[in-house]
Every structure is written in C-alpha cells, then in structure tokens.
Amino acid sequence: MSNPEDNNFGAWAWRFTAKDILPNEGILSGKTIVMKDNISVAGVNCLQGTDAFTGFVCTPIADATVVTRTLDAGGTIVGKAVCENLSMAGTSFTAATGPVHNPYARGYSAGGSSSGCGALVASCAVDINDPLTLGFLWAIGGDQGGSIRSPASWCGIDGLKPTQGLIPYTGIASFETTMDHTGPMTRTCHDNSLLLKALAGKDNIDDRCIATPAPSDIPDYPAILDKVKGTAKPLAGFKIGLKEGFSEASCEQGGMYDVRVHQKVKDAADKWKDMGASVEDVSIPMHALPMDWWLMIVRMGVIGGASGRQGFHQNQLTTRMSALRTPEGWDKLPFTVKNMVLDGVYMQEYYPELYGKVTNLIRLLRENYDEALDRFDVLVMPTTPYLATSNATPDATVLAKISKGLGQTMNTCSFDVTGHPALSMPVGILPSLDNPSISLPEGLQIMSKHFQESKIYKAAFAWEDKHPNWKECV
C-alpha cells in the first residue's frame, strides 16, 4: 500500500487497476472488485498477510481462474485486500501489515481470514461517499473454516462459501485442499448471486471441481431472484429448519455465547413466515462434533501442503514455504500459525492415522446434514455465536489473543469439512457487551445441499427484499 494515510481500515494490501483492454459489456461491466491477497494476479505482489518469507513478497506470473473470469465478465479489479497471516486466523490482528478495523467500530475485529475483504465491502455500506471505496466494492474471499462468512457476519455484508469446487480454486494459495473454498462477498444477496454467476463452473484444471458443471450449465442465479422480487409470498411452500441449540454448542467447546445473538437470529427466522415459508426447529445431533474434526484435518493438512493433488500448483508460493524452516522465518510467525504447525507435526508423529479416520467420519456428518435437508429446503443458524471482539494489542499474551476468537467458527467450520454451501447475511445490529455505545452487526447463516445455492439465495433475497433496512430490524 503506497499511501497508508488512505488506508483507514488497514484493509488494502495493494492498489491497482486491471480490466479488459477491449470494450466488454459482460455481466460484471461497471463493477469494481477486490481480491483477497492470497489470490494470484499476474504481476502484482502477493503477501498472504505475512512477512515470514525471504524477500517478503512474491509476484505471480499467472492469474487465478477467478481473476480471469472477473475480467472476462467485464469487471474491473481495483486492488487486493489484506488477509490474515497465511489465512490462519478468524480475527483481524495477525497480518504483518497491521490490524484490520471493523468499519462499524475502529479497534474491533473485521473477522478473518478475509478480513480486508469484509472491511472494504462493508465500508461502502457505512459511508457510501467514501472516495476510497469508489462508491461500492465487491470482493472475492477465501474460506477454509469460516473466513468468508465470519467477516460477513461481523461487518454486516453477504458472504457465500459455495459448494466446494463450484468456483475453481486454481491459482489461490491453498490451506487444506479438502476444505479450500473461494467465494463472493457483497453488500446484497442479488449482487452476490451475480458475482457467483460470473465465477462458477469447472475450469478443467482444479481437481476439486470433479462434480462441478461447466460454466455454461451454471444456473442463472440473478434471474431466479428477479422472478420473486416484490411478490407477496416469495417463499410459498418453502421449508426452513432452525437449528436447535446452535449457540449452546459454542459453550461446550469453551467458546463465548451471546444470548442476544441467539434471539436475534430466531426473530429474523420468524420473519420468513410472513413470506409463505414454514419455520421449524430441527436437531442435528452431530453438529457439535466437527470443530474437533476440523482442527485435526487442518493441522495435519497444513503440514502436508498440497500433496496428492493433480491440479495447478503454485510453485512460487510452495518454494517460499521453505523459508519457514529457518529460525528467522519462524520467529516472524504469529501464534496462530505456530500453533497450527506444531500441532500438525505432533499429530503426524504420534497419531498419523487421525487424518484418515476423521475423513471417513466426515462422510457420516455430511449424511447427517443431508438427512435433515431431505425435510427442509435450507437450515439456518447464527453465523457467529457472538459479536465482533476488540482487536488484541501486540503486547497481549497468547491466551488473551486466543480468547478473541474462541468458539467463533463453531457454526461455520462444519460446512468446510462437508463442502455444503453456506451464506451469511446481516439481520441486525446489537450494542457491544464491552462498550454499549458501539453497535455491531450480526449475521444469520443459511445452508443447503451441495449445488443448491439457488435455494440459499432465494431465502436470503426474500428476507432482504422485505427488510432492506436490516439495521433497523428488531
């Protein structure tokens, strides 16, 4: 970022303009998009939120598929957004460039690891006249445990983690290949559906896309929503399952739980009844288990890197990882990355069978959700069990830093391990518990079966269409 004084939220990693040199009236014409800074844009430095590598930055020589598709659809890329250190944090104070601030309250978390994406998209909604945001921005983030949906929840925007493989991950720094997702982050559901339409479809490179249709066979998500806009009962016959005990599970895992968030989501779900939908409680017995499974898979996967894949490999980024084997590189890493790596080494040394066992259990979890989705079109729950926390200071203890995000991904990581699509949408704001003078957004998460993004969008769009001023919802 060449002009730090213009980086009020600490969210910009790089500013540049990339667009088609020929006239292009594609579906993203006139739209400005920012990329998470783990996405390869040819000729633009890629920090990945860290300074642990020798030489600090690398410059990709090829575009990620999402970059190519954005430009092909007529979009203008205006920069890259800060991501947390190696994308290994759900809070927003681990990036080497400094903390990312929540646009609703400076000093509070924007969520992570797509922290810069969340802050930049949300800043448009907070101050539409901010010249830095060009009036509006959309973003393309990444999600391995909640890294699109957590910033969406805490920043008050729409963020979709699509079905794994629906959008190719080609040319994006991998975290754990079985959980890698990339997806759209926007101010509204309709905008989100338009960006997904431009990005979705297999690219015949990424082997995560084995079940994904070709781009020409992707549903026209915006057109589906346009058909129900303004109708009295847009969800007639639609069945919504409200997850029981969705916040208590966070307490069982040692995390925080805000009862007001629980109530806000229940009240928001009840509003769907006026749109023709039925809303019933549903029990998902295995929902509290995936947090532990996710931790095992991620930690062992981080150590294994991208092994076992036949798709595109970012050799430049892989080569840089060798710098972490030096004392100098290791010392620069934040506690989040060190914890991941040390846990992964320990598990591989003493429990090498865990990765396989957990992978097999995840099939049962996927079936558990699908059984519920045989009875309901979508399932809903809070995205995060509590509001955004304050960013930890650099001199805070490790335990104090960990406490800022404890239990945060309880309701999001499940769908990274199963690959189900899930979207966070804002449903209201609440006073912060530690400073009642500050009001912060809260998100509701909607999930459905694989490749059923249209159902998720239909539920979210109907709610947003009836309640455009979500900040005023009580």
Residue 258 DSSP SS3: coil
Torsion of CA 455, 459, 460, 466, to 10 degrees: 150
- How many whole angstroms separate alpha carbon 438 and alpha carbon 108? 10
Q: Catalytic positions, please?
A: 36, 113, 147
Please give the C-alpha separations between residue 457 and each of 74, 251, 264, 305, in angstroms, as whole numbers. Answer: 23, 30, 20, 33
Give the DSSP per-residue string, 62-100: S--HHHHHHHHTT-EEEEEE---GGG--SSSS-STT-PP
Residue 208: both structure tokens together: 């995560």
Nearest to 429 by CA among 374, 456, 469, 369: 469
Nearest to 41 by CA among 137, 114, 131, 140: 140
β-pair type (378-382, 239-243): parallel
Burial of 308 (0-12, 13-18, 19+ CB in 10 A): exposed
Residue 35: both structure tokens together: 């990329």
- How many whole angstroms separate alpha carbon 333 and alpha carbon 267? 42
The upper half-sphere exposure of residue 360, i.e. CA atoms within 13 Å in the direction of its Cβ, equals 4
Q: Does the CA dihedral 66-68-74-75 come out positive or negative? A: positive
To which H or E segment does residue 316 belong?
Answer: helix 315-320
Query: Token pair 């990620």 is at which residue?
Result: 64
The upper half-sphere exposure of residue 252, i.e. CA atoms within 13 Å in the direction of its Cβ, equals 13
3-state SS string over 374-425? CCCCEEEEECCCCCCCECCCCCCCHHHHHHCCCCCCCCCHHHHHHCCCEEEE
